[in-house]
Copies of this chain bind each other. A is one copy, B any other.
Amino acid sequence: MTIPERYPSRLLEDAVQAIGSLPGVGKRSALRLALHLLRQPEENVRHFAGAIVKLREEAKYCRICRMISDEDVCSICSDRSRDPKTICVVENVRDVMSIENTGQYHGVYHVLGGIISPIAGVGPSDLTIASLVERVREMTSSPAAIPTEVEVILALSGDVEGETTSFYIFRQISGFGVRVSSLARGLGFGDDLEYADELTLGRSITGRQPFRP
């Protein structure tokens, strides 16, 4: 089946092109979504568009951790119950939300805004690595500071880009004497040994832990 190309309406064509510019939304889906919106009450469509424009125009980035935020300092960085000496370095805000949902982490974050990827043309200067280094430097520069009390958790993905970025950051901050850790790798809960990839299974064995019944 050919993808529809002749639009009966310029307005429809414009809307389909706009929606189709979103990543992962094909022309056919874009048309389906445009026709869906056309059937909704005008008020709803205005609200839909307004929420998106407002996000783009008004969202800020936390000046400490660079996470998207409604205020100058985000709700996590300004939460006094969180440990400001434990910094979890993540690629983006989705990762923050995933970790927050576990309810297992009580430190703060640093959002890189991406990952080093020569193929995608993303270098260290495109990310917030410099501000992370500055942040760690400040935390360890006062005479009273005890660097080993500061922990930086490199919570990046386990692929080549993630490992590269982790290594790059490690080299930048290791001189400050802070502890640097990374996420535990191994079999997921419920994972079947038979279907685990060799690398993961290998790490699960070498990183084996005392059995706690």
Contact = CB atoms under 8 A, between A and B. Distances in A.
A45 to B, nearest CB: 4
A59 B12 CA distance: 8
Number of copies of this protein chain within its complex: 2
A34 interface: yes
B101 A55 contact: no
Contacts of A44: 21
Contacts of A53: 45-46, 49
Nearest to A101: B2
Nearest to A4: B97
A35 interface: yes
Nearest to A65: B8
B24 A38 contact: no
Taking chain A's interface residues, is the majority helix, strand, or loop, or is none over half, making it mixed? helix
26 contacts: A2-B98, A2-B102, A4-B94, A4-B101, A5-B97, A8-B76, A8-B93, A9-B59, A11-B55, A12-B59, A12-B93, A17-B51, A18-B48, A18-B52, A22-B37, A23-B32, A23-B36, A25-B33, A34-B52, A35-B93, A40-B56, A42-B56, A46-B53, A48-B52, A49-B50, A49-B53
A52 B2 contact: no
Contacts of A153: none
Interface string A97-136: 1101110000000000000000000000000000000000
